[in-house]
Structure 1
Amino acid sequence: MTLTVFSDAVSWEQNLRRVREPKALASFAYAQASALLYGNGTWAEAAVLEEEGHIVLHPYLRRPIPQSPHRSDLVSAFEFGGFWCSAEDPVLRAELLHRFALRFGDWASAEGIVTEFIRLNPFLPDDGIEKGGYQLRWHQDHVVLQLDGPIDTLRQRYNRARGKQVRQGQRNGLTLERVDDPTMLCRLLHANLTRLSAKPFYFFPIEFLRALMPVSVVFHVLGPDGSVIGAHMYIVDGDVLFAFLCHADAESWGLRPNDFAYDAVIGWAVEHGFRTLHLGGGAEELFRYKQSFGPDTIPYRQARRVFLPTVYRDLADGDDSRFFPTYRRS
Structure 2
Amino acid sequence: MIKLVADSGKEPLDLIYPDIYFLPEWGKFYETKEEQGEHAVFEVEHEWGHIFYQFIVRPVPVRLEGLTYFDIITPYGFSGPVILSGNPEKKQQLIELFEAQFGDYCKEHRIVTEYVRFSPWLKNRLDFKALYDFRDNGHVQFIDLTGEDFFMDQFASVSRGQVRKALKNDVEVEFDYTGEHVAEFHRLYMMTVTKNNIDPYYVFSIESLRQSFEVFKGKQFFLFAKHDGRYISCSFILHYGEYVHYHLTANDPAYSSLSGNSLIVYEMCRWGVEHGKKEVQLGGAPDKRLYRFKRNFNKTEPLELMMGKRIHDQEAYDSLVEAKKNTVGIEHAGYFPLYRG
**TM-score, length-scaled by structure 2:** 0.83
User: Does the CA contact (< 8 Å) of 1:101 and 1:129 recur in 2?
Assistant: no
Q: Does 1:195 align with 2:207?
A: no
Report which stretch shifted further, 177-186 or 110-119.
177-186
Work out whether residues 114 and 310 of structure 2, in 8 Å CA contact, stay in contact via their aligned partners in 1: yes
Q: Tell me, yes or no, if structure 1 residue 186 matches structure 2 residue 182.
A: no
Report the aligned-residue RMSD.
2.3
Question: Which SS does the other structure have where 2:236 is aligned?
Answer: strand
1:186–1:73: structure 2 CA closer, same or farther, 3 Å change rule? farther
1:260 to 255, 258, 263: 263
SS in 2 for 1:86: strand
Match of 1:54 among 42, 49, 58: 49
Cα 1:42–1:83 change in 2 (3 A) is: same
Kindly provide the CA deviation profile for residues 28-55 of structure 1, in whole angstroms up to 9, marking residues without a partner as x: 22112211222x4211110011222622
1:245 equivalent to 2:244? Answer: no
Aligned mate of 2:321, from 313, 316, 322: 316
Q: Deviations over 1:129-180 (max 9, x none)?
A: 233x322333222211110135x44334222222211211111111222212
Q: Percent identity?
A: 22
Determine if contact 2:59/2:69 at 8 Å carries over to the other structure. Answer: yes
- Picking from 23, 43, 46, the partner of 1:27 is 23
Q: Secondary structure at the residue paired with 1:327?
A: helix
Residue range with higher mean Cα deviation, 214-223 or 250-259: 214-223
Partner residue of 1:282?
Answer: 285
Decide whether aligned partners of structure 1 residues 29 and 146 sit closer, same or farther in structure 2, where only a CA change above 3 A counts.
same
Secondary structure, counterpart of 1:268 in structure 2 = helix
User: Which amino acid in the other structure matches residue 277 of structure 2?
Assistant: F
User: Which residue number in structure 2 is paired with residue 121 of structure 1?
Assistant: 119
The 2-side partners of 1:54 and 1:293 are apart by 38
SS in 1 for 2:39: strand
| DSSP 3-state at the match of 2:129 | coil
After superposition, residues 151-170 of structure 1 pair within 5 angstroms as 152-170=149-167
Distance apart, 1:284 and its partner CA: 4.3
Alignment of 1:200-211 (within 5 A): 200-211=200-211
Q: Distance in 2 between matches of 1:120 and 1:34?
A: 16
Instruction: Look up the SS of the partner of 1:259 in the other structure.
Output: helix
| Correspondence for 2:172 among 157, 175, 189 | 175
The separation in 2 between residues aligned to 1:54 and 1:310, in whole angstroms, is 33
Tell me what 1:325 maps to: 337
Check conservation: 2:116, 2:307, Cα contact below 8 A.
yes
Q: Where does residue 297 of structure 2 map in the other structure?
A: 293
291, 312, 317: which one aligns with 1:307 = 312
Distance 2:151 2:99 in 1: 40
User: What is the match of residue 112 of structure 1?
Assistant: 110
SS in 2 for 1:25: helix
Query: Aligned partners of 1:311, 1:267: CA distance in 2, in Å?
Result: 52
**How many angstroms does 1:200 deviate by?**
2.0
Give the secondary-structure state (helix, strand or coil) at the position aligned to 1:67.
strand
Q: Report SS of the residue matched to 1:305.
A: strand
The whole-number CA distance in structure 2 between the counterparts of 1:124 and 1:146 is: 16
* Separation in structure 2 between the aligned mates of residue 183 and residue 218 of structure 1, nearest angstrom: 14
CA distance in 2, matches of 1:166, 1:245: 20
Q: Aligned partners of 2:97, 2:37: CA distance in 1, in Å?
A: 27
CA distance in 2, matches of 1:256, 1:23: 30
1:262, distance to aligned residue in structure 2 (A): 0.5
In the alignment, the residues of structure 1 paired with residue 138 and residue 163 of structure 2 have an alpha-carbon distance, to the nearest angstrom, of 27
Would the aligned equivalents of 1:33 and 1:208 in 2 still touch at CA under 8 Å?
no
Whichever residue aligns with residue 228 of structure 2, its letter is: D
Q: Compare 72-81 and 294-303 and name the one that shifted more.
A: 294-303
**Aligned partner of 2:136: which letter?**
W
8 Å Cα contact 1:59-1:76 kept in structure 2: yes
2:297 partner amino acid: F
Cα gap change, 1:245 to 1:321, in 2 (>3 Å): same
Matched residue, 2:40? 45
Structure 2 equivalent of residue 137 of structure 1: 135
Deviations 1:97-127 (A, max 9, x none): 3331232123112211111111101214334
